[in-house]
Amino acid sequence: MGVKKIEHNFSDKQVAYYFDADFSYLEKIVSKEKAVLITDENVFEAQQSKFEGWKTIVIKSGEQYKQQTAVDSIIQQLIEKEADRSSFIVGVGGGVVTDIAGYAAGVYMRGVRFGFVPTTILAMVDASIGGKNGVDVGAYKNLVGMIRQPEFLLFDYSLLQTLPQQEWINGFAEIIKHACIKDAALFSLLEENSIERPDDFVMKTVANKSVNKVYIIQNTDKKVSLETIAKNKGWRMDEMLEEMETIAASGTKLNLDYAIAEMLDEEDQDEIIDYFKSCETSSLQVAQEELAEHDFNWEQLKIMRIKFLSEYGM
């Protein structure tokens, strides 16, 4: 099977997704002369041969290094490599690497082009998708950053084969949660196969689930009605809202103000947001009971919780 290319248009960018691609396909997307690859020590050590001939910056591995100091180091190395406005940054790694690489690309020379080659399950289905780029500030996660879409994402499933066991566990925990919420077919597939080291078919099926996230971000960005978004995918409204909540809970901001404005006035929106800021449970049934005087329905509370997660996090 050859490379499968899918393009999605966001409000300010067309992003290309290359599925079933080998790392070597990267040369067909960006030139080695203009590209600078950013990866971490673990990926570089496990995949060193793939980086031969590419200008590469290697950063320390781990969330604790997702700080401004890592970006400062990258910028210094970009200067030393004589990177200019025509250069192209490619983040090769998990969510920490893609967050840092996208942020560095956004601030270097006021913004250069960039793309991603995700190397973990979580990065393939979540972290590298949605335009989230940034760093932590001390203990505050993702406090500094920007929303800026990459030019492309390249999915080479063979990169998953060298993942440490804990990365498999973390990644598939998220996949199983997704399947339990709204994807019976995927859940059955996971039941029938080992998730310790899944075969190629399972890995591709899981990774391709990222298309749903892209579809939702793209359509809410264009302010398509929620009914149309759900109908085009064959989803019930509650299924789609569950999918949206999963996306928002992962840290991706969804633009739902246009849809909320048709469901609730500003006073009601403020009332619900204030409730979520102080409530001690995530139960919407409890929320309906405690806000009974306003007679809010499940969909209104659900979409406001998604807005709350998008703006304030978990």
pLDDT at residue number 13: 83
SS3 112: coil
pTM score of the predicted model: 0.75
pLDDT at residue number 116: 97
Cα 293 from Cα 134, distance rounded (Å): 41
pLDDT at residue number 127: 72
225-314 has which CATH code? 1.10.10.1390
Exposure string (b/e) for 220-252, b if CB count within 10 Å is 16 or more? bbeeeebeebbeeeebebeebbbbbbbbbebbb
Cα 208 from Cα 124, distance rounded (Å): 8
pLDDT at residue number 203: 60
Q: Which residues contact 139 (CB under 8 A, 6 or more apart)?
A: none
4-162 has which CATH code? 3.40.50.1970
Q: Is the fold of 4-162 the same as that of 225-314?
A: no
Helices 266-278, 298-312: axis angle to 10 degrees equals 70
The two tokens of residue 294 are 């306003």
From first to last of its 314 residues, the chain has per-residue pLDDT tens of 588 888 887 767 889 999 889 999 999 999 999 999 999 999 999 999 999 999 999 999 999 999 999 999 999 999 999 999 999 999 999 999 999 999 999 999 999 999 999 998 888 877 778 788 999 998 888 899 998 999 999 999 888 888 777 777 777 777 777 677 656 666 776 777 666 665 555 565 655 567 788 889 889 988 999 999 999 989 999 989 988 988 887 777 888 999 999 999 999 999 999 999 988 877 899 999 999 999 999 999 999 999 998 887 65
pLDDT at residue number 109: 97
The domain segmentation of the chain, as residue ranges, is 4-162, 225-314
pLDDT at residue number 217: 87
